[in-house]
Structure 1
């Protein structure tokens, strides 16, 4: 009986020793993730904010340029689905033969104008990211920072972005053109009436495009070391690289 007890005691001691080694390894791994060496949590947070600011700056510059939306293969804003029936029925009506092309160009020009105002709004939202948020994001997916940003700021951005879109659409006559077209369509007997509010559609699509651009830039910085143009970005994302392996 004593031999059995001694054997069990030795086994417990051995397990405790093994668990201590495991705990040390886990602790070291956690320390490495937090930064290891000279990389602090504050640096991780600042690095991610720099990455997002870099993506936002490029996205805003590209989409706010002439043809930034209008000639973009992915982010070009098209008419809402319900508008197709309006367009098809009004093509033969005098004054509306080029309705679809005119509306699409005006919508995209409006989005390009509004995009110029987006930079400070995004920058303010990025500044509010906490260290805890940054720690979660660092080891996340290639678009995790953009997903976080969209989730936490979309409603606020919409509220500030929409008036700019409305103003831009009014300045170039897109809202009037759509109202005239939709009102003319709604007078046709037996058709389902359509909403003459165009700015919601354009605002949502414009923001989708903006977030899409930010996501592209975030992924590039995460996956392409050459895109990390500052020492801090290189330092933060090299830590991400080592933990992905």
Structure 2
């Protein structure tokens, strides 16, 4: 088996005047067993995750990306259902509806900042990380993103969501209503509406990233480049 050390790999890139780095990676030999080499695995996985996360961010940041999605639409939490029903019963349903719309619009606006955060995490991914994710199967990449990006997403999302909620005084109504409600409830509701919506928005992002990951892993038609076909069509990608 021909082996290419890291120094040799760098020299190939430096000396090549007509091929792109991606072409060089594509043309590196596979192993004697026909499996993709480490560089192909890392490059292919990063390519797949870049495509998947950009698709997710574009889809969720579009108008009604959250609001019209039955799975992701942000509603009042279950423990607040009684309060919501009471408000609707006394003719304040429009207040609740405005708050729900604002929550989802805030999430959609915040989703615009998700792609750069995911791309940064992808760039920092090591070859060891990539191989582990490929072999991890199912939601290994999504779990990697949860670990690496949740803090940054929270920081980026909170001010955007807060601004959206303040436009309709949603945060004021929420705090006023649930501060009183919590005095008598055995299941207190978080009076920080921004924190609640931020958590739901990030949860929605990861849900969609997970769907994109499954698409690449399980649907050959979703592997739109030769590198993706090589990496995700290999037996390594099928390991559970």
How does the TM-score come out when normalised to structure 1?
A: 0.75
Change (3 A) 1:123 1:143: same
Q: Give, in whole Å, the separation in 2 of the partners of 1:190 and 1:116.
A: 38
RMSD: 2.7
CA deviation profile, 1:98-155 (whole Å, cap 9, x unmatched): 2332221111111111111111111111111111111111122221111111122212
Partner of 1:79: 76
Does residue 235 (structure 1) correspond to residue 230 (structure 2)? The answer is yes
Q: Computing the radius of gyration over CA atoms, which structure comes out larger, 1 or 2?
A: 1
Distance 1:189 1:62 in 2: 36
Does structure 2 retain, via aligned residues, the 8 Å contact 1:62–1:68?
yes
TM normalised by structure 2 equals: 0.76
Task: Compute the displacement of 1:74 (Å).
Answer: 0.9
Alignment-derived partner of residue 17 in structure 2: none
Aligned-residue offset at 1:194 = 5.1
Give the corresponding residue for 1:198.
193
Shift of 1:185: 6.0
Match of 1:183 among 176, 179, 182: 176
1:115 aligns with 2:108: no
Q: Secondary structure at the residue paired with 2:230?
A: helix
State the 1:160 CA deviation: 2.4
Distance 2:115 2:171 in 1: 28
For 1:141-220, what aligned pairs fall within 5 Å after superposition? 141-170=137-166, 172-173=167-168, 176-184=169-177, 186=179, 191-192=184-185, 195-220=190-215
**1:204: Cα distance to partner?**
0.8
d(CA) in 2 for partners of 1:145 and 1:215? 8
Please name the residue that 1:225 is paired with.
220
State how far apart, in whole Å, the 2-side matches of 1:177 and 1:120 are: 29
Unaligned runs of 5+ in 1: 1-33
